């Protein structure tokens, strides 16, 4: 498991922002800071807050979801349009430097692979990028 950081232009229902994104091959969900959602998307409230445990052991709570889309670009100029939903947490920005974590379910849905090499040689492999429709 590992992570790759990247700045990414994220579009939501209310606007577009460049966010610091962490692609995390160990994250069970995608999570966005409440601060990052301002002017980006309409938050859909959850019936009950959800608790998540981060890799460092800290707990955060999500109170809603935010739908977003973006286009990932590989150094080879290959593009991969994605659309997803992230849980919104007010506490997230206090324990994480990034604005958005993209977790395993979204990576798997688009068959995006994280490749880890020597220091500074990590990359996001988009060669198999296609939205899987086998999950209904």
Q: What is the CATH number of the domain that holds 110?
A: 2.40.70.10
Distance of CA 83 to the CA centre of its chain: 10
Distance CA 133, CA 71 (A): 19
Average pLDDT, integer, range 82-106: 94
- What range defines the domain where residue 99 resides? 3-125
The reply to whether 98 falls in a domain is yes
Q: What is the predicted pLDDT for the residue at 75?
A: 79
Asked if the structure places residue 87 within a domain, the reply is: yes
- The secondary structure element, H or E, covering residue 94 is helix 92-95
- Please enumerate in sequence order all residues whose Cβ is within 8 A of that of 81, keeping only pairs 6 or more positions apart, or say none: 69, 70, 71, 72
In a domain, 131, yes or no: no
* 132 is a domain residue: no
**Domain annotation covers residue 14:** yes
Query: CB count, 10 Å around CB of 115?
Result: 11
- Number of separate domains in the chain: 1
112 in any annotated domain: yes
pTM comes to: 0.91
Predicted confidence (pLDDT) per residue in 48-76, tens digit:
999 999 888 999 999 999 999 999 998 77
- Asked whether residue 133 is domain-assigned, the answer is no
pLDDT of 34 > 60? The answer is yes
Tell me, yes or no, whether 88 lies in a domain.
yes
The mean of the pLDDT values for the chain is 92
Closest CA to 29 of 113, 122, 100, 118: 100
CA 90 – CA 99 distance, rounded (Å): 11
For residue 117, the model assigns a pLDDT of 85
């Amino acid at each position: 498991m590992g992570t790759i950081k990247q700045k990414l232009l994220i579009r939501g229902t209310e606007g577009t922002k460049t966010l610091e994104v962490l692609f995390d091959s160990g994250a069970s969900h995608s999570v966005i800071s409440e601060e990052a959602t301002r002017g980006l998307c309409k938050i859909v409230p959850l019936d009950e807050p959800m608790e998540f445990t981060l890799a460092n052991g800290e707990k955060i709570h999500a109170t809603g979801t935010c739908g977003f889309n973006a286009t990932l670009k590989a150094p080879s100029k290959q593009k991969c349009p994605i659309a997803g939903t992230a849980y919104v947490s007010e506490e997230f920005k206090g324990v994480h430097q990034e604005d958005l974590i993209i977790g395993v379910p979204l990576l798997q849905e688009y068959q995006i692979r994280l490749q880890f090499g020597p220091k500074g040689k990590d990359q996001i492999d988009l060669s198999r990028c296609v939205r899987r429709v086998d999950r209904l």
